[in-house]
Amino acid sequence: MHNPVRRNRNIGTEKQGYGQNNKLKISSPYGSLKSFHEQLTIYRTESWTINNHEFVFIVEETRKHSIHSCSISDIKKIIEQIPTEDYGELRFIILRQPKRKEEILSPVWGRLIYSYEFEDEYYPAIILDAIDLEKKLLWPKKQTIEDQKEFERLKTDGHIFTETKRNFIAEFKPDLVRNTQLYRTLPHEFGHYVHYLEVVERPENDDENDEEKEKRLDFYFNIPKSEKEKFAHTYAEKLKSKLISENRIPF
């Protein structure tokens, strides 16, 4: 199968500058070209057809004290409400257990992978990371404008912060983590994928060659992160508002 996204093997590695100032590093097995988020351990899979589109749910076993806040059933209910034209070739939905070093160096609620390798197949994937309930949610007092906006979103999700000398701290509560990952992170990552579709895939015409698509791909990956985040936040907020107005969420 043609892989529509050129896989950059330097992403997340020292060659791209990642982690050069850190003593801790996210390691990869010697000789493996897989990125750290493709290195799953014990997992199970379920295939579901949603609006005539097949999704493969991959659920990795969690460590003690860690949870997947969203069930497959939860995620299906949200995906059912997303326009089918926004599915594209996205296929893998991964509930992943991050390694301890990853939780320190690369903590996220979720991420979009444009070309994810799973059992020798390559498809776009959305990953939702498991959360360790023994850890705390830390937010800095010194905040950029974007930090301030996300801080307000977290408080809207229900997270309750207490103030210390350097940070704001909240406990991870399962229902509040679910609010964030199910109603915001999942649509947000779909938003990133829709942005990619609009810039790279949807302008395609019958007469174009590979070079033209390659130019759009390069253009997309050179869009500033702030612009990509703005697009994804707008997409997620519109979807969330629509579902709330239709009394489809929360559930």
* 225 within some domain: yes
* 147 within some domain: no
What pLDDT, on the 0 to 100 scale, is given for residue 192? 98
Whether residue 122 contacts residue 191, with contact meaning beta carbons closer than 8 Å, is answered with no
Using DSSP's 3-state secondary structure scheme, residue 151 falls into: helix
pLDDT single digits (tens) 20-61:
444 555 555 555 567 888 889 999 999 999 999 999 999 999
Q: Is the dihedral of CA 149, 65, 48, 91 positive or negative?
A: positive
d(CA 62, CA 97): 6
* 149 within some domain: no
Residue ranges, the chain, pLDDT below 50: 1, 9, 11-13, 16-22
* 146 within some domain: no
- For residue 84, the tally of other CB atoms under 10 A from its CB is 12
For the chain, the domain total comes to 1
DSSP secondary structure code for residue 199 in this structure: I
* 2 within some domain: no
* 144 within some domain: no
d(CA 213, CA 192): 18
* 115 within some domain: yes
What pLDDT, on the 0 to 100 scale, is given for residue 17? 46
d(CA 86, CA 194): 6
* 7 within some domain: no
What pLDDT, on the 0 to 100 scale, is given for residue 11? 47
What pLDDT, on the 0 to 100 scale, is given for residue 23? 54
What pLDDT, on the 0 to 100 scale, is given for residue 13? 46
What pLDDT, on the 0 to 100 scale, is given for residue 119? 93
What pLDDT, on the 0 to 100 scale, is given for residue 101? 85
What pLDDT, on the 0 to 100 scale, is given for residue 210? 81
Boundaries of domain holding 39: 14-135+172-245
